[in-house]
A = this chain, B = another copy of it.
Amino acid sequence: MKSAPVTIKDIAKALNISISTVSRALRGMPEIHPDTRSAVMRLAEEWDYQPNQLAKNLAKSRTKTIGVIVPNLSYYFFSAMLNSIEDAAIQAGYSVLVCQSNESYLRETMQIQNLLRSQVEGFILSLSRDTSNCAHVERLIQKNVPLVLFDRYADNMAASKVMVDNREAAFKATEHLIENGCRRIAFLAGPPQLVLSNQRLAGYRDALTKHGLYMGDQYVFHCDYTQENTLMQTLALMSLPQPPDGLLTVSDRIAYPAMYAMKQKGVRIPDDVAVVSFNNEPLSSLFSPSLTSISQPIQEMGMETVRLLLRQLEATDGPITPETTVMPTQLVVRESSLRMKSADFLNGVLSS
Q: Which of B117, B139, B286, B317 contacts A52 (CB 8 A)?
A: B117
Q: Is the CB of A1 within 8 A of B54?
A: no
Q: Which residue of B lies closest to A118 (CB)?
A: B53
Chain B residues with CB under 8 Å of A97's CB are 97
Q: Which of B55, B118, B319 contacts A1 (CB 8 A)?
A: B319
Q: Is the CB of B257 within 8 A of A286?
A: yes
Minimum CB–CB distance from A174 to chain B (whole Å) comes to 24
Chain B residues with CB under 8 Å of A50's CB are 113, 116-117
From A73-81, A151-159, A210-218, the one touching the partner chain is: A73-81
Minimum CB–CB distance from A62 to chain B (whole Å) comes to 11
Q: Which of A244-290 contact B (CB under 8 A)?
A: 256-257, 259-260, 263, 282-283, 285-288
How many chain copies does the complex carry?
2
In the complex, the 8 A-B pairs of residues with the closest C-beta atoms, listed nearest first = A74-B79, A2-B144, A53-B117, A260-B286, A73-B73, A54-B58, A256-B286, A73-B79
**Can you pick out 20 interface pairs between chain A and chain B where the beta carbons lie within 8 Å of each other?**
A1-B317, A1-B318, A2-B143, A2-B145, A3-B143, A50-B113, A50-B116, A50-B117, A51-B117, A52-B119, A54-B119, A74-B79, A83-B100, A83-B102, A95-B114, A256-B286, A259-B286, A260-B288, A283-B283, A286-B287
16 more CB-based (< 8 A) A-B contacts, given A50-B113, A53-B117: A50-B116, A53-B118, A55-B58, A58-B58, A72-B79, A73-B82, A74-B79, A74-B80, A86-B100, A95-B114, A97-B97, A257-B286, A260-B285, A263-B288, A283-B283, A286-B287
